[in-house]
Structure 1
Amino acid sequence: MDRWVAWCASLSVYIWCTCACSILVEAIQVLQTSKGECMWVQASR
């Protein structure tokens, strides 16, 4: 039983980390994109 609980806990931690990483990457990409658009708009003026 303890082994099952430990396995479940490690799996949930792994899933949580994977989700957090993908969200972080997504946020960074969005920030870079919006920054690039702002600079592009300023340059085109």
Structure 2
Amino acid sequence: IKHWMRMAQGRSLEAVFNALADTIATFSPQECRNFFKKAGYASN
């Protein structure tokens, strides 16, 4: 995510939010669960 945010180079808060929304949309729900699980935030 950091890589894509740097590529977007948002100059305003709105641009940053839009870039973040576009980036998050590229991940599947399973990938998101895996990220949280790996970080130790997974729930049953």
User: Shorter-chain TM-score: what band?
Assistant: 0.3 to 0.5
Relative contact order, higher structure (CA 8 A, sep 6+): 2
TM-score (structure 2 length as normaliser) = 0.36
Choose 1 or 2 for highest CA Rg. 1
TM-score (structure 1 length as normaliser) = 0.36
